[in-house]
Amino acid sequence: MIEIKGLNKSFDNIKAVDNVTFDIKEGEVFGLIGTNGAGKSTILRILSGVYRPESGTALIDGNEIYDNVEVKKNVFFISDEPYFYPNSTALSMGEFYAGLYETFDKEAFEKYIDAFKLERNRKINTYSKGMKKQLAMLLGICAKTKYLLCDETFDGLDTVMRQAVKSILAKEIEDRQLTPIIASHNLRELEDICDHIGLLHKGGILLSRDLEDMKLNIQKVQCVFKDEADKANALNGVEVACESKRGQLYTYTLRTTREEAIARFSSVDTIFYEVLPLTLEEIFISETEVAGYDIKKILLG
């Protein structure tokens, strides 16, 4: 388990991480969302032991990380711009990490680089950005550490490769309780993989919530009412987070369960209604508006 409490980190006069507190459970995929400069990379570097916290605590399995070799054996950090030694190849980098991590699985690594069509003995400096990202991810997965810290992991990967990497992560989570922490500025990249989301803004955390809990308690409903009385009856006593109308079609975001939403709209005389799944972006727009923030401005500027 990862525990972060009152974490602070500054660089000169810049407050990179501002009193951040959240926990990450084992075996769940934790997504750190935020724009560039929100503090995502700094938090990952603290968790990997690259930076020492200025104040507050960051613990992995109850232990401090900085200068703790035993804890670092359980952590693999993939930066947003992976570094490879000059003139290195995929195979030579595999050998390098096998020397650092006793758990490194050479056989699996070679199988993966062949499956991803990464030439074993080709110099990595001739790889494309996407190929370098793939290689870094495969090295991290094959290190077989308990925690995998990923900074903008999917940036530069095409759709097919994104899904391939997500499939491998899902298998590793199921097989050995891998705990990935994935930082991204793109909500859509994390929608189908994360269990828990933390939203960072200007070094502070605005929201840390279990994704499934959020999905269970907020619903999107589209409907056409026969008259205003039916509309009033359907919405009576339920919190409406968002409402829009196009012609006769109403679209609501409601803070309630799916079962309750179905019960409400089936009990009144509508011409049409359906309960639709919300995107992660729609959920966060709703949740952050309650806290007084506009996620569209936070993430899109």
The Cα 136–Cα 216 span in angstroms is 35
Mean residue pLDDT of the chain comes to 90
Judge whether 285 and 296 are in contact, CB under 8 Å.
yes
pTM, to two decimals: 0.83
Comparing C-alpha atoms, which of 228, 276, 222 is closest to residue 249? 222
Same structural domain for residues 9 and 129? yes
Judge whether 93 and 135 are in contact, CB under 8 Å.
yes
Q: Which domain holds residue 99?
A: 2-209
Judge whether 210 and 46 are in contact, CB under 8 Å.
no
Same structural domain for residues 115 and 235? no
Same structural domain for residues 143 and 260? no
Same structural domain for residues 88 and 171? yes
How far are the Cα atoms of 15, 106, 136, 138, 149 from residue 72, in angstroms, in the given order? 25, 20, 18, 18, 12
Same structural domain for residues 101 and 171? yes
Q: Compute and round to an integer the Cα radius of gyration of the chain.
A: 22
Structure tokens at 47: 């968790």
Query: How many structural domains compose the chain?
Result: 2
170 burial class (0-12, 13-18, 19+ CB within 10 angstroms)? Answer: middle
Same structural domain for residues 27 and 176? yes
Tens digit of each residue's pLDDT (9 = 90 or more) over 233-282: 999 999 998 889 999 999 999 989 999 999 999 999 899 999 998 887 77
How far are the Cα atoms of 86, 102, 143 from residue 123, in angstroms, in the given order? 8, 25, 21
Give me the residues of the chain with pLDDT under 50, please. Answer: 300-301
Same structural domain for residues 177 and 234? no
Q: What is the CATH number of the domain that holds 98?
A: 3.40.50.300
